[in-house]
Structure 1
Amino acid sequence: MSHTPHELADEFPQDHAVLHRLKMEDAHFARLAEEYHEVNREIHRIESEVEAASDDRAEELKKQRLALADEIGAIVAKARTAA
């Protein structure tokens, strides 16, 4: 399978340890990360034409991914300064 763009590790390349720690220690963060992963994979399937979707659905998913990335980014930034 090809590399899926926009994985959290790609979005936060300097924060691998922080991401891992948060996934292990923070249930809310783990749920957000899982939701991000699911949405990102669905977008990738649509863009790869493996799965059909309307333009509106694809845009809705991209907005959802961006909102999740923003929330995750805020948590990562806070955890980075606390560590």
Structure 2
Amino acid sequence: MLGESHDLLHEFPDLENKIAALRADKPEFARLMDDYDALDARVRNFEELGTPVADETIEELKKERLLLKDRLYVMLRA
């Protein structure tokens, strides 16, 4: 869905406390989460503002966002 939020709290509401704890205690997690949030905002801006951009570019950004989310999820489940 265009412009839909994919922030980690929206994606994993049941892990809210763990997300907060890891963000506070693990600099690598915090950095990856910042990267993920920035990438998510970039994708949403392209979608919502209708900025001219190649479909391939959007798809690559979405794939990168998914890879970051997977890495973060692995850290959340460790």
Could you state the TM-score of these two structures normalised by the residue count of structure 1?
Answer: 0.84
Q: Secondary structure at the match of 1:15?
A: helix
1:19 aligns with 2:19: yes
Alignment of 1:45-56 (within 5 A): 45-49=45-49, 51-56=51-56
Identity %: 29
* 2:34 aligned residue: 34
Unpaired stretches in structure 1, ≥5 consecutive residues? 79-83
Higher helix share: 2
Higher relative contact order (CA 8 A, sep 6+): 2
For 1:2-57, what per-residue CA distance to the aligned partner results, in whole angstroms no more than 9, with x for missing partners?
Answer: x8511110111101110011111000000100000000000100111253321111
Q: Secondary structure at the match of 2:13?
A: coil
Unaligned runs of 5+ in 2: none
Runs of 4+ in 1 over 3 A off after TM superposition: none
Q: Structure 2: how far apart are the matches of 1:54 and 1:10?
A: 27
RMSD of equivalent CA atoms: 1.4
Secondary structure in 1 matching 2:51: coil
- Between the two proteins, the alignment pairs up a number of residues equal to 76
The normalised TM-score by structure 2 is 0.89
